[in-house]
Amino acid sequence: MRGFFRLRLSILFGLFVLGLALPSCLPIPQIRLDLDLPDLATVHPNQTIRTEYVVIDGYEEINTPEIYNRAYYERYFVPADPPSTIIVLMPGIYGGAGSLDLLARRLMSTNRSLEVWVIDRRANVLEDREVMKQSIRSGNPYLAYDYYIKNFGKPEGFNPIPPSDLRFLAFWGLEVHLRDLHNVILQAKTKAPKVVLGGHSLGAAIVGFYAASDFGFDAPDLGFEHIDGLILIDGALGRTGGFDRKPEGLGIGPLEFVPGTEGLREGKGEPYLTYGLSPRMFARRDVLALLARFKPDDLAPEGLYPFPLTNLAAFGLHEDDQYGISTVFSSSWGEAIGAKTAGNLGAVLLAGSDAFRNQTVVGVAEGFDYVDWGLGDPSRERSDIAEVAREMTFSDTNRSEWYFPTRLALDIGEYDIRLEDSKGFIPNARVTTPTLAVGAGRGLVPDMNGFAAYQNARPGSAFSSYVLPGLTHFDIVQTSNNPLATLIHLWLGQLR
């Protein structure tokens, strides 16, 4: 009997030792838990949300005509609900305040005592949008079509500002934009006890720079001390800025495509970015949105595409993730109907397996008279094309920044992400602002690694990061029932 008990004890001891050893020998399960967000109640229907385009004094840049030393923002508010918190949002590269309109409205609809202020960077006021506004007021998009597309380059049509007339843009670098933003933040602090700063894409890098800025002359005046929270949307220092690349220009051999900072000051090169994206292209996109909003079922004017299609299809093809060459800088908002298609090698080369379903529309399919547009699979098509068309046809502002300063692009790439020994900044390690970072699963930050460098530059900070699957870089700020807005709502509730 005694031997029996010894045997049992030996077996139990052996099992115990085996239990300790197994984890080092066998794989441990990796539990996957998808983000499950609650449905939020609407507290402010869209019709109760008001907007106001606000102009305040900007940074006094001495090489700039006084009329342009201003700061601008679109204010979203509910008159009967004074704010306890103001969220100030900075758009991404080539982005106007209109690019964040749908996100601002979603935030307003689900939060009490909130205002959202969306920055319109100073270059936005250079745009010739008067005929756009006439089309919006009259509901007649063909006024804009005639002016910006049909008569482009003619005396009676749209003519972009010559680069020689905008040489002062060579001085519109990061400091100018940060000080413009600082004036807006100071304004917000007079209106609400809590101010949160957020940015999308390149705007996420700009707000990261703001948090580490020292605006003081005789005494420190630190950016992060003026804000209560920081929101990074599909971008961050280390991903959309802060690359430690000196602004020496870009070129191949003797050919210089983008001059360095000194070259810009000397009048070399273009003072605004024109490579592939130009004022003409942005104006064309805005006109496509006008046509899609006001006359979606009309056939598009001849010359826009080499085959007949509706205005809605013309707008859809311009940016949809299934038909462009970039699945990142795109929207998922439907599919072409009655289209003859071919492969899209450019998209596959740029995006790999994510672009295997991409196509190029080359004409009208047999049995159809024209190409139209449909909503597609709602599980994949995350944005509402009609909502975005309305967002892009705002009277006050628009979705684009037609004249993006080359100097700003150079400056944003110059600094090391740690910002140690950088004039005008404190080290990022000293920034303690609670931060919410949210990436887009099909965007610029498709996984947590995209935020890692910036997070590691700020050890010890309260830093929450998420990735929203299935969303492109544009979807994340415009999708219907936006999960980003829900995350921000929950996070705001935890800010002290």
pLDDT digits (tens, 9 = 90+) for 348-361: 555 555 655 678 99
Q: Is the pLDDT of residue 442 over 70?
A: yes
Over residues 412-427, the mean pLDDT reads 94
pLDDT in tens, 393-417: 888 899 999 999 999 999 999 999 9
Lowest mean pLDDT among 183-197, 302-316, 354-368: 354-368
Element (H, E) at 5: helix 2-25
Rounded to the nearest 5 degrees, what angle is found at the Cα of 205, between the Cα atoms of 203 and 211?
105
Phi, psi angles (nearest 5°) of residue 453: -60, -45
First to last CA, the chain: 67
Over residues 455-470, the mean pLDDT reads 96
Could you tell me which residues come within 8 angstroms of residue 370 by beta carbon, excluding any fewer than 6 positions away?
A: 299, 307, 308, 309, 310, 313, 338, 364
Helix, strand, or coil (residue 496): coil
pLDDT in tens, 48-76: 999 999 999 999 999 999 999 999 999 99
Confidence tier at 325 by pLDDT (50, 70, 90): confident
Please state the separation of Cα 261 from the chain's center in Å. 25
What is the structure's pLDDT at 245? Answer: 77
Domain(s) labelled CATH 3.40.50.1820 in the chain stretch across 50-126+173-244+415-492
Q: Which tokens in the block code for residue 460?
A: 């010890």
What is the structure's pLDDT at 20? Answer: 47
Q: How far is CA 170 from each of CA 14, 165, 183, 248, rounded to the nearest angstrom?
A: 75, 11, 21, 14
The pairing of strands 335-337 and 50-57 is: unpaired
Our separate counts of H helices and E strands in the chain read: 15, 14
CB contact at 8 A, 120 and 97 = yes
Confidence tier at 347 by pLDDT (50, 70, 90): low
Cβ neighbours, 10 Å, residue 159: 14
Rounded percentage of the chain residues whose pLDDT exceeds 70: 89
Q: Which tokens in the block code for residue 170?
A: 């060579």
Rounded percentage of the chain residues whose pLDDT exceeds 90: 77
Over residues 68-85, the mean pLDDT reads 97
CB contact at 8 A, 281 and 274 = no
Helix, strand, or coil (residue 411): helix
Longest CA pairwise span in the chain (Å): 110
Q: Determine the Cα–Cα distance for residues 272 and 169; give it in Å rounded to an integer.
A: 7
What is the structure's pLDDT at 31? Answer: 87
Q: Determine the Cα–Cα distance for residues 475 and 332; give it in Å rounded to an integer.
A: 7
| Burial class for 46, CB neighbours closer than 10 Å (0-12, 13-18, 19+) | exposed
> Pick the residue with more confidence: 369 or 29?
369
Tallying the residues shown for the chain, one arrives at 496
Q: Determine the Cα–Cα distance for residues 190 and 184; give it in Å rounded to an integer.
A: 10
Over residues 477-496, the mean pLDDT reads 94
Over residues 410-430, the mean pLDDT reads 95
The pairing of strands 435-442 and 229-233 is: parallel
pLDDT in tens, 235-281: 999 999 888 877 566 554 444 567 788 888 888 888 998 876 899 99
Over residues 117-141, the mean pLDDT reads 98
Q: Is the pLDDT of residue 304 over 50?
A: yes
Concatenate the DSSP letters of all residues of 176-225 into one string.
Answer: HHHHHHHHHHHHHHTT-SEEEEEEETHHHHHHHHHHTBB--SSS--BGGG
DSSP bridge partners of 314: none
Q: Is the pLDDT of residue 155 over 50?
A: yes
Confidence tier at 18 by pLDDT (50, 70, 90): very low
Q: How far is CA 457 from each of CA 175, 417, 418, rounded to the nearest angstrom?
A: 21, 7, 6
Cβ neighbours, 10 Å, residue 214: 15
Q: Is the pLDDT of residue 4 over 50?
A: no
What is the structure's pLDDT at 165? Answer: 96
Element (H, E) at 89: strand 85-90
What is the structure's pLDDT at 30? Answer: 83
Indicate the average pLDDT of the chain.
Answer: 91
Please state the separation of Cα 78 from the chain's center in Å. 24
CB contact at 8 A, 323 and 344 = yes
The candidate with the shortest Cα–Cα distance to 192, out of 108, 115, 107, is 115
Q: Determine the Cα–Cα distance for residues 207 and 490; give it in Å rounded to an integer.
A: 21
Over residues 300-317, the mean pLDDT reads 96
Q: Determine the Cα–Cα distance for residues 1 and 145; give it in Å rounded to an integer.
A: 99
Q: Determine the Cα–Cα distance for residues 96 and 126; give it in Å rounded to an integer.
A: 12
CATH hierarchy code of domain 50-126+173-244+415-492: 3.40.50.1820
> Pick the residue with more confidence: 431 or 20?
431
> Pick the residue with more confidence: 218 or 113?
113
| Most confident among 10-24, 199-213, 238-252, 345-359 (mean pLDDT) | 199-213
Amino acid letter at 174? L
Q: Determine the Cα–Cα distance for residues 496 and 256; give it in Å rounded to an integer.
A: 50
